[in-house]
Structure 1
Amino acid sequence: MAGFATLTRQCWLFAVGSSFFALATAPGFPGWAGAGAADALCFAGSWFFTTAAWMQLRLADPGARVEWSSAATQFVGTLLFNLSTGTAVWAHAVTTERRYVWVPDATGSTAFLLSGVLGMVAVSAVAGLLDLRSRDWLAGAVNLLGCVAFAVSAVAAFVRKTGVTEDEWLANLGTFFGALCFLVAALLLLPRPSQPRSCTDATS
Structure 2
Amino acid sequence: MTETLHPPLTGLRVPPGWRVRNVQGRSLFATRATVTRPDGSEIDWSARRHRKGLAPAPLAQRPLRRFRDRARGASRSSWWMGGLFATGAFCFALGSLPLFFDHIRADVVAWVFFVGSVLFTSAAYLQFRECVAAPDTIDPAAPRRHGVHGLIGLRARSIGWYATAIQLVGTVFFNVSTFAATRADLDLDQQVHLIWVPDVWGSACFLIASALAYAEVSPHIWRRPRGDVGWNIAALNLLGSVAFGLAAVGARYLPTTGEPANIALVNLGTFAGALCFLIGAALLPIESAGARDASRR
TM-score range, shorter chain: 0.7 to 0.9
Contact 2:86 2:277 (C-alpha < 8 Å) held by counterparts: yes
Contact 2:210 2:238 (C-alpha < 8 Å) held by counterparts: yes
Structure 2 Cα separation of the partners of residues 152 and 105 of structure 1? 11
Aligned length: 195
Question: Greater RCO between the two (CA within 8 Å, min separation 6)?
Answer: 1
TM-score where L is the length of structure 2: 0.61
Contact 2:82 2:283 (C-alpha < 8 Å) held by counterparts: no
Contact 1:84 1:101 (C-alpha < 8 Å) held by counterparts: yes
SS in 2 for 1:190: helix
Give the counterpart of 1:24 among 85, 95, 100: 95
Match of 1:60 in 2: 131
The ranges of structure 1 where at least 4 consecutive aligned residues each deviate by more than 3 angstroms after the TM superposition are: 191-197
Match of 1:101 in 2: 195
> What does the per-residue CA deviation read over 1:151-175, in whole Å, with 9 as the maximum and x for residues that have no partner?
0000000012231110111101100
Structure 2 Cα separation of the partners of residues 52 and 100 of structure 1? 23
> Residues 18 and 194 from structure 1, CA distance in 2 versus in 1: closer, same or farther, beyond 3 angstroms?
closer
| Runs (5+) with no aligned partner, structure 2 | 1-52, 54-74, 133-154, 293-297
- The question of 1:190 aligning with 2:261 is answered no
Q: Which amino acid aligns with 1:114?
A: I
Match of 1:35 in 2: 106
Give the counterpart of 1:157 among 233, 251, 258: 251
Q: After superposition, where does 1:65-84 map in structure 2 within 5 Å?
A: 65-84=158-177
TM-score where L is the length of structure 1: 0.88
> Residues 164 and 63 from structure 1, CA distance in 2 versus in 1: closer, same or farther, beyond 3 angstroms?
closer
Note the C-alpha offset of 1:65.
1.7
Structure 1 Cα separation of the partners of residues 167 and 124 of structure 2? 7
> What does the per-residue CA deviation read over 1:57-113, in whole Å, with 9 as the maximum and x for residues that have no partner?
011142652111000000000000000000000043111110000000001000000
> Residues 80 and 194 from structure 1, CA distance in 2 versus in 1: closer, same or farther, beyond 3 angstroms?
closer
Q: Which amino acid aligns with 1:56?
A: Q
| Runs (5+) with no aligned partner, structure 1 | 198-204
Give the counterpart of 1:14 among 85, 89, 95: 85
| Structure (1/2) with the larger strand percentage | 2
Contact 2:239 2:276 (C-alpha < 8 Å) held by counterparts: yes
Query: Identity of counterpart residues, as a percentage?
Result: 38
Structure 2 Cα separation of the partners of residues 177 and 74 of structure 1? 18
Match of 1:147 in 2: 241
Contact 1:18 1:180 (C-alpha < 8 Å) held by counterparts: yes
SS in 2 for 1:89: coil
| Structure (1/2) with the larger helix percentage | 1
Contact 1:46 1:85 (C-alpha < 8 Å) held by counterparts: yes
The RMSD of aligned alpha carbons is: 2.2
Match of 1:118 in 2: 212
Q: After superposition, where does 1:130-141 map in structure 2 within 5 Å?
A: 130-131=224-225, 133-141=227-235
Q: Which amino acid aligns with 1:135?
A: V
Q: Which amino acid aligns with 1:167?
A: N
Q: Which amino acid aligns with 2:247?
A: S
Note the C-alpha offset of 1:178.
0.3
Match of 1:87 in 2: 180
